[in-house]
Chains A and B, each alone.
Chain A
Amino acid sequence: MDNLIELILLKYPKNATENIIEILLQIQEAEGFISAQSIIMLSEHVGVQSSKIYSVASFYDQFVFEARAKFIIRVCSGTSCYISGSDTIISFLEKEFNIRIGEITRDHVFQIETKSCLGACAQSPVLEINGVFYSNLTPQRIRQIIHQCKSSLQ
């Protein structure tokens, strides 16, 4: 992982603070999240204390600081989905994985989040897993989807 970050940092001149956000984005893409180690390496590279890097990064919701799950389930909680029962979908998932929204399963495979609107109101309720959309959800269908995810791991 350190090598990966080093390669990213090498692309940018030292002590150039204007690149911080760009580098953070690249680190997140490579690592999946912003680790403590990457903050230290970045802070040394650009010559800014780690607290200032974290301050900037934590300003943006896009950056996360903990390892993420293999499958990030984003349930739409927009108005249309809400009317079609997105809250039952959420509580179904919470029960299924025994975690709450925002949390991650112990085996780091699933994580549930909500999104304000995924823009597919006609097919509500919808959810998105790692970029793939699933619509007209029912608990049965969700069970199927989860099964698909699990079997794709093997």
Chain B
Amino acid sequence: MFLNIEVNNQIIKADKGETILSALNRNGMNVPTLCFLKELNPTGACRMCVVEVEGYENLITACSQPIEGFMKIQTHSKRVLNARKTNLELLLANHPDECLYCIRNGSCELQNLAQSFNINERKFKNKKFTLKVDKSSAAIVKETDKCILCGRCIRICDEVQDVSALCFIKKGSSTTVGTTLNKPLSHSNCILCGQCIMVCPTAGLHEKSHTPQVLEAMGNPKKHTVIFHSSSVSVSIAEEFGFKAGKDVSISLNSTLKKLGFNKVFEVGVASDIYLIELAEDIINRTQNKGPLPLFSSCCPAWIQFAEQYFPGILTSISQIKSPQQIMGALIKSKYADDLNLNNKDIFTISVMPCIAKKQEAIKGNTSISSFSDVDCVLTTRELASLIKIKGFKLDDTETQLSDAPFVNQSSASKLLGTSGGLTESLIRILHHKVTGKDINEIKQSKLRISKGIKEISVMLGETTYNFAVVNGIGNARKLINDIMSGKKTYHFVEVMACKEGCVNGGGQPLLSEKDALKSRIKAIYDSDEKESIKFPYKNPSISEFYQAFTKSGNKNILITNYKERTVLK
């Protein structure tokens, strides 16, 4: 039911029961927020969104106050502005003046607010800082001093991911955000999805940077540096250079990276094609040999970490095929190294991913070739953008270049892996070919292209009906697995992605992105599927050579990984 409210002497329409903030935003009016997260429970912790409501003695937090009847609201009165400014100054009292040396310099919500409130002096003397930095985790760094206790990380970890690795510890002025028993992150039940980084307004949580190692390797003439990037990076990195969201720059990125001085630039798509083909074979094998079914996807490292911690019983149901990143690294350090007569010790592989859990996967990943890791370093989208800037370049969208040989081509199906549902959609294309011998007519699976936490599709292939489930957001995954374990649901294949909407929304993607950036990135991926000529992984000419090599050597060991149970405080 709509009702009228008065805001700044102007009448606007509001839905009964919605919050003041939601009504304001819908009508194009803005109030500053720090702790607010759309679709999550409002807490009113930061008190930046306070407004003056006639009839109320105190200022009201717009994010948590529902509209029940007519209201007369002032969003920018003198009293409100004063309250917000003092509030901000108090937050800054507990925040170090380290902006120049901070990873979030320029992309910090607290800094932006301080700037917009014209704060140019320290009003309150700062407290003593603890200088506590938790670097124990393979991918996430936690800086206690920079935390403003907004609680966003805690809420997203609990309400969306249902992992609850983080919590408030103690009370009052000694409150901090930490893990159970305040253990280092590496000992906690954190699955490294990085969603906490995406919502952190400051640098309280950020990724562990691999940029120094990459720069080191690039400056070492003995190292043969090979970089490869994923489709979710090429549809988002342009945002870091001021382009509108949804610009696919995969081929321009190739040329920019070449200019930066990498010896070879590839796209991970070739490895994704191999991954998809192997996965399809795994499904068919398991269907014919009676299980164990369902088969779970293995490309999301945060999902693997989650399963190893919470569902050790289903580890045998997760495909043992390495993720595309690890396959790519393994191919480069074996076949590619042999072809170029390079010692794999001298090859330095850099993967560019929209994900921070991939940093952990690279370390933990089973190495295929003696003691060398498949992937030496993992850069996030953000880190690559900063590396390009460090090297004095910008993303030039006019120049284009294909991936270097021998990984020139990739199917457009491989690019779909960046979205939730894309993996399954590509798999259906391959399964159709494997079962019927023909290309599928309807390549688009519109049931899988909608934005939903759990999606299901059944496809008749030959004489068997294959049931697929697609789940994104680890909280949804937990629900689905419980349903599968209790026998309520049965599938042939389950695609799991730890982040909502899939990798396009990964923990390594651009921060503070524009509204609807996610939708634009997804659209860019589907558009390229429409445009490109190779739509089926099995038609990718770049992979046939590798398959010949596999058949010749008779082993696909370099494509296989394994999982083990991980005991943590959960």
Contact = CB atoms under 8 A, between A and B. Distances in A.
A43 B180 CA distance: 11
Closest 3 CB pairs of A and B: A55-B167, A51-B167, A49-B164
Contacts of B166: 51
Given A51-B167, A65-B181, 10 more contacts: A39-B569, A40-B569, A43-B570, A49-B163, A49-B570, A51-B165, A51-B179, A58-B169, A58-B171, A58-B182
26 contacts: A36-B180, A36-B181, A36-B569, A39-B180, A39-B181, A40-B569, A40-B570, A43-B570, A49-B158, A49-B163, A50-B189, A50-B570, A51-B166, A51-B180, A52-B158, A52-B167, A54-B167, A54-B169, A54-B181, A55-B169, A58-B170, A58-B171, A58-B182, A59-B170, A59-B171, A65-B181
Interface residues of A, number: 14
A64 to B, nearest CB: 11
B124 interface: no
Interface string B532-570: 000000000000000000000000000000000000011
Contacts of B182: 58
Contacts of A40: 569-570
A54 B180 contact: yes
Contacts of A36: 180-181, 569
Contacts of B170: 58-59
Interface of B: 158, 163-171, 179-182, 189, 569-570
B179 to A, nearest CB: 6
A59 B170 CA distance: 4
Interface string A96-124: 00000000000000000000000000000
Nearest to B187: A36
Contacts, number: 42
A51 B171 contact: no
Interface in A11-53: 36, 39-40, 43, 49-53
B130 to A, nearest CB: 16
Nearest to B166: A51
Interface string A52-69: 111100110000010000
A116 to B, nearest CB: 16
A49 B309 CA distance: 13
Nearest to B567: A40
A67 to B, nearest CB: 13
Q: Dominant SS at the A interface?
A: helix
Contacts of B164: 49, 51-52
A51 B164 CA distance: 6
A152 to B, nearest CB: 32
A59 B168 CA distance: 9
A38 to B, nearest CB: 11
Nearest to B164: A49
A55 B182 CA distance: 10
A43 B189 CA distance: 14
Contacts of A59: 170-171
Output the residue of B158, B164, B182 with the most chain A CB within 10 A. Answer: B164
B171 A50 contact: no
A49 B475 CA distance: 13
Nearest to B168: A55
A20 to B, nearest CB: 13
B168 to A, nearest CB: 5
B337 to A, nearest CB: 44
Contacts of B180: 36, 39, 50-51, 53-54
Q: Which of B167, B179, B189 gathers the greatest number of chain A CB atoms within 10 Å? A: B167
Contacts of B163: 49
Contacts of A55: 167-169
A40 B567 CA distance: 11
A25 B137 CA distance: 33
A69 to B, nearest CB: 19
A51 B188 CA distance: 9
B218 to A, nearest CB: 40
A84 to B, nearest CB: 30
Contacts of A65: 181
A59 to B, nearest CB: 5
A65 B169 CA distance: 12
Nearest to A51: B167
Nearest to A34: B181
A54 B166 CA distance: 10
A88 to B, nearest CB: 26
Nearest to A65: B181
Contacts of A43: 570
